Amino acid sequence: MSGPDFIPAAVRARLRDLRLEGRRATGGHGFGQHRSRSRGAGLEFAQYRAYEPGDELRQVDWKLYARSDRFFVREAERDSPLTAWVLVDTSASMAQTDAARPGWSRLDLARGLAACVFELALRQGDQFGLAAVGGDGLRLVPAGAGPRHRDRCLLELHGLRAGGTWPAESTLRPLWERLGAGHLVLVLGDDFDEASVALMEKLAAARREVLNLQLLTAEERDFPFRGGHRFRDPETGQELVGDAPAARASFLAEFGAARRALHARLAAAGIRSETAWLDEPMDLPLRRLLAPGAAERA
């Protein structure tokens, strides 16, 4: 498994110039400014893997190519200054889809974004792990490295389903055993649960490097509804019936104000945050979040 079902080919090609980075650097360099997987003295050989577009030609084992007529890359292991985690919200609201892109939900976008982060960490030679939080409680894939670990994380992504509500805080205690100080944590969710926002603040206060992508629909951005409409909260079951055109202006004003307040709150906690819309290519919000200098501006 290499995850092509999660990452479209065009997006995969554009990932080549993205790097994971953060404010808490090691040795005076930002995250993603290191080369953890390379050949040289003092490095222990780990394994071969098939050549992938974007790999450096100097990593290709040309002797093995002469024998097999196939391109393989030598990988070596060394200590890495970065451990990246992806925390995915799997509560019921993550099943929300969008008429602008039928059949594509918040959770689908979260899967794609998570796969992109795993790919970036893999190319940088860094460790990465996955945490999913929702109605099923907490599901963890401990941090590891290499293609096989990437495939393990992708397999876990395949099995994620949206349902239920954000669990009790006690359910999340194992997170604190895994997420060490200085680890990079990207939280993917709609940020509608106060408990999820509070968790991000606590992680940041405990010296974790927290990033956030708020996953929202184009309908929430544009409110294109016509006539009478029934709106239902997937987690509480509460319903609201009203005339959509009459409610549009007030909804957009209140929703915009809520988003600005959320991002200001996260910024006050030292958390970089961006919005990922369901109708845009998945690498665009990552580019906004990981743009050079974004860490210093936060």
pTM higher than 0.95 = no
Query: Nearest-CA neighbor of 207 among 190, 182, 236?
Result: 182
CA separation, residue 205 to residues 81, 122, 200, 240, 268 (Å): 20, 28, 9, 37, 11
Q: How confident is the model at residue 38 (pLDDT cuts 50, 70, 90)?
A: very low
Q: How confident is the model over 103-121, as pLDDT tens digits?
A: 999 999 999 999 999 999 9
If one counts every other C-beta atom within 10 angstroms of the C-beta of residue 29, the result is: 11
Contact 125, 35 (CB under 8 A): yes
Q: Which of 187, 190, 184 is nearest to 199 (CA)?
A: 187
**Cα R_g (the chain), whole angstroms:** 21
58 band by pLDDT with thresholds 50, 70 and 90 = confident
Burial class (CB within 10 angstroms; exposed 0-12, middle 13-18, buried 19+) of 100: middle
Q: For the residues of 57-116, what is the DSSP string, one character each?
A: GGGB-HHHHHHHSS-EEEEEE---S-EEEEEEEESGGGG--BTTBTT--HHHHHHHHHHH
Give residue 73's pLDDT band: very low, low, confident or very high (50, 70, 90): confident
| C-alpha to C-alpha distance for 72 and 85, rounded to whole angstroms | 28
Q: Return all residues near 163 (Cβ < 8 A) that are at least 6 apart.
A: 90, 91, 92, 95, 134, 135, 136
> What is the band of 54 on the pLDDT scale with cuts at 50, 70, 90?
low
Here the tokens at position 88 are 């995915």
**Under CATH, which number does the domain 9-21+80-297 receive?**
3.40.50.410
Q: How far is CA 251 from the centre of its chain?
A: 28
Percent of the chain with pLDDT over 70: 83
Residue 28: its H or E element: none
**Joined tokens for residue 73:** 């890359």
Residue bearing the bigger pLDDT, 229 or 167: 167
Please list the helix, strand and coil fractions of the chain in percent, rounded to the nearest 5, in that order: 40, 25, 35
User: DSSP letter at 224?
Assistant: -
Start-end of CATH 3.40.50.410 domains in the chain: 9-21+80-297
Q: What value does the mean pLDDT take over residues 30-45?
A: 41
Instruction: Tell me how far apart the alpha carbons of residues 164 and 193 are, in angstroms, rounded to a whole number.
Output: 12
Model pLDDT, residue 294: 56
Element (H, E) at 273: strand 272-277
Calpha distance 240→165 (Å, rounded): 20
- How far apart are alpha carbons 246 and 190 in whole angstroms? 25
pLDDT reported for residue 293:
61
Residues 276/215, Cβ–Cβ less than 8 Å: yes
Q: Which residue is associated with the tokens 């390379």?
A: 38
Kindly tell me if the per-residue pLDDT of 35 is higher than 70: no
Apex 205 CA angle, 204 and 210, nearest 5: 5
